[in-house]
């Protein structure tokens, strides 16, 4: 059911017109005249009304506002599926009691560096290796990634360590190479509403790590998940990674309350990327611990053996020794909230 609030002074003709429009779409109108406003309750399965149709009602003469009662996402909602979704990747299950750590450099730079980092994160207890071969960069003059060459390096790291691979797809034209080498496909924050890309990955069966857009609401994040799921791929992992606010002391504002909110609204697993969320390595550790305390199912953490020479995001990458220390602390926090790493 939706609610249409009418403007004061709405005419009988306008009212009839609105009712007729509702009926033409198969709904019934329940009119309540209050002391200050007349309100129409829309009876029927209003979940079928798209955002656009709903907005179009706001264009009708006499309408002040439409309140929607039902969330616009369905497949992604807990209303639709009450129990948590578990996503199996190799021997790992995301969304269960075990918290997974996805670690690695921002960009893949060369074979020796990646292999070294892969060994470090494996030893520390991470269960996935990450690294970008196709890099979204705000400057056209920045390093844009190694492309397929980088994917091969990732594959080698997987072969050496057994860690499944998470990497980003930026362009639907790269889907084949990404499918070939990755275990989880990341949709980056700047592409969260690249709807063609969402449809593309929705039509395959690889698990998707979907990062929240820089200024996306939680509802929009779930609508992006819905895009993927509507194509048939239900293996979506949601990722909070910081939103854009007025605060400039951190690169973004990590919205940890998104974790329990998403858990309430959706059955999908939720992980957190504190490295991008705060953008400074010395803030990553406290926010990683906080994310687990808030109920996250996993973390994405940037690790680099030599941050000052990293071709991307050096300022937010942890050195190996810091990462070892952090993993120990994370295990203690996970235990305190009844989880394990």
Q: Which residues, numbered 4-43, are part of the site for its own copies (CB under 8 A)?
A: 5, 8, 21, 30, 32, 34-37, 39, 41, 43
Binding mask 201-220 for its own copies (x = CB under 8 A): -------------xx-xxxx
Among 146, 236, 291, 301, indicate the residue that binds its own copies (CB under 8 A): 291
CA angle 264, 268, 269 (to 5 degrees): 100
Which three-class secondary structure state does DSSP give residue 170? Answer: coil
Q: Which is nearer to its own copies, 145 or 207 (CB)?
A: 145
278 part of the interface to its own copies, by CB under 8 A: yes
The nearest distance, CB 113 to its own copies, in angstroms, is 14
Rounded to the nearest 5°, which phi and psi values hold at 50? -75, 165
* Position among 254, 270, 301, 327 found at the interface with its own copies (CB under 8 A): 254
End-to-end CA distance of the chain: 43
Listing DSSP states for 256-323 in one string gives TTHHHHHHHHBSS-EEE-HHHHH-SHHHHHHHHHHHHHTT-SEEEEEB-S-GGG-SS-GGGPBPHHHH
Report if residue 253 touches its own copies, rule: CB under 8 A. yes
Work out whether 195 is an interface residue with its own copies (CB under 8 A): yes
Among 199, 132, 207, smallest CA distance to 169 is for 132
Stretch that binds its own copies, among 57-65, 97-105, 121-129, 148-156 (CB under 8 A): 57-65
Sites for its own copies among residues 258-277 (CB under 8 A): 258-261, 264-265, 277
- 3-state DSSP assignment of residue 43: strand
CA distance 317 to 190: 20
Task: Give, as ranges, the residues between 151 and 170 that touch its own copies (CB under 8 A).
Answer: 170
Size of residue set near its own copies by CB under 8 A: 114
The one among 293, 305, 322, 324 contacting its own copies by CB under 8 A: 293
Please say which residue, 45 or 149, places its beta carbon nearer to its own copies: 45
Phi, psi of 171 (to 5 degrees): -140, 130
Q: Is 99 in the site for its own copies (CB under 8 A)?
A: no
Strand order in the sheet with 2-6: 28-33, 38-43, 2-6, 63-67
142 binds its own copies (CB under 8 A): yes
């Amino acid at each position: 059911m939706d609610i249409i609030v009418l403007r004061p002074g709405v005419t009988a003709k306008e009212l009839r017109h609105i009712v007729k429009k509702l009926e033409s779409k198969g709904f019934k109108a329940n009119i309540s005249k209050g002391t200050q406003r007349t309100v129409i309750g829309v009876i029927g399965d209003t979940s079928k009304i798209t955002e656009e149709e709903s907005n179009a009602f706001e264009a009708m003469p006499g309408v002040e506002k439409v309140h929607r009662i039902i969330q616009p996402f369905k497949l992604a909602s807990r209303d639709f599926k009450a129990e948590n979704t578990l996503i199996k990747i190799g021997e790992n299950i995301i969304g269960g009691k075990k918290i997974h750590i996805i670690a690695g450099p921002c960009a893949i730079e060369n074979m020796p560096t990646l292999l070294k980092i892969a060994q470090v994160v494996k030893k520390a207890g991470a269960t996935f290796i990450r690294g970008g071969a196709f890099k979204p960069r705000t400057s056209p003059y920045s390093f844009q990634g190694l492309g397929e060459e980088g994917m091969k390096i990732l594959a080698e790291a997987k072969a050496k360590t057994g860690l499944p691979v998470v990497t980003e797809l930026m362009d639907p034209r790269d889907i084949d190479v990404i499918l070939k080498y990755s275990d989880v496909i990341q949709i980056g924050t700047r592409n969260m509403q690249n709807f063609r890309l969402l449809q593309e990955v929705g039509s395959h069966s690889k698990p998707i790590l979907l990062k929240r857009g820089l200024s996306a609401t939680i509802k929009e994040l779930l609508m992006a998940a819905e895009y993927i799921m509507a194509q048939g791929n239900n293996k979506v992992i949601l990722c909070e990674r910081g939103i854009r606010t007025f605060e400039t002391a951190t690169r973004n504002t990590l919205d940890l309350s998104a974790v329990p909110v998403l858990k309430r609204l959706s059955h999908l697993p939720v992980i957190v990327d504190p490295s991008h969320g705060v953008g400074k390595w010395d803030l990553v550790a406290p926010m990683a611990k906080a994310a687990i305390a808030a109920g996250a199912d996993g973390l994405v953490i940037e690790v680099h053996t030599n941050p000052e020479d990293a071709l991307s995001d050096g300022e937010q990458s942890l050195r190996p020794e810091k990462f070892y220390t952090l993993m120990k602390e994370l295990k203690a926090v996970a235990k305190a909230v009844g989880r394990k790493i």
